[in-house]
């Protein structure tokens, strides 16, 4: 029996300055931590090992849901994707649900990385995150 190979993926969460409170999400709170634990467990069964890191040196000003999408970055070196924000990966959010959008982006990078535009392609989904997309 062959050893199952895992694909490493890093989710980076930047700090936020909330200018509009309706887009607040506590990325250190129990609901988010429970969501991440469940998604990590599911993805591990599918061969994707997720590591979550916090980058408190970068602070994103949150004035809209698009800005909230910029808080979360996904990297998969194996697929050539480095620090791409959720908005770049999924485009417009259908339901404005950050946890759903993170899950969609993780699965897209994990299982269909060729569908994600290169990070140097211009897209009008990012605001103020400095990622270059």
Flag whether 98 is in a domain: yes
pLDDT of the residue at 115: 87
Flag whether 19 is in a domain: yes
pLDDT of the residue at 120: 57
Flag whether 85 is in a domain: yes
Flag whether 86 is in a domain: yes
CA atoms within 13 A on the CB side of 93: 21
Flag whether 127 is in a domain: no
pLDDT of the residue at 133: 46
Flag whether 2 is in a domain: no
The Cα 84–Cα 74 span in angstroms is 5
- For the chain (length 133 residues), average pLDDT per consecutive 10? 76 94 92 97 96 94 92 90 89 92 96 80 48 48
Domain count, the chain: 1
Flag whether 121 is in a domain: no
Name every residue whose Cβ is closer than 8 Å to that of residue 120 and which is 6 or more positions away in sequence: 132, 133
pLDDT of the residue at 116: 86
Domain containing residue 70? 14-42+49-115
| pTM of model > 0.95 | no
Flag whether 7 is in a domain: no
Q: How many other CB atoms are found less than 10 A from the CB of residue 94?
A: 10
């Amino acid at each position: 029996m062959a050893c199952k190979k895992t694909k490493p993926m890093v989710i980076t969460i930047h700090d936020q300055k909330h200018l509009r409170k309706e887009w607040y999400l506590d990325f250190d709170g129990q609901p988010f931590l429970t969501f991440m634990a469940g998604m990590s467990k599911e993805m591990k069964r599918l061969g994707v090992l997720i590591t979550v890191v916090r980058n408190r040196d970068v602070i994103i000003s949150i004035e809209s849901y698009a800005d909230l999408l910029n808080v979360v970055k996904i990297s998969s070196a194996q697929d050539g994707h480095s620090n791409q924000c959720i908005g770049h990966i999924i485009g417009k959010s259908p339901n404005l649900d950050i946890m759903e959008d993170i899950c969609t982006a993780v699965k897209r990078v994990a299982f269909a990385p060729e569908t994600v535009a290169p990070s140097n392609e211009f897209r009008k989904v990012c605001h103020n995150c400095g990622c270059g997309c």
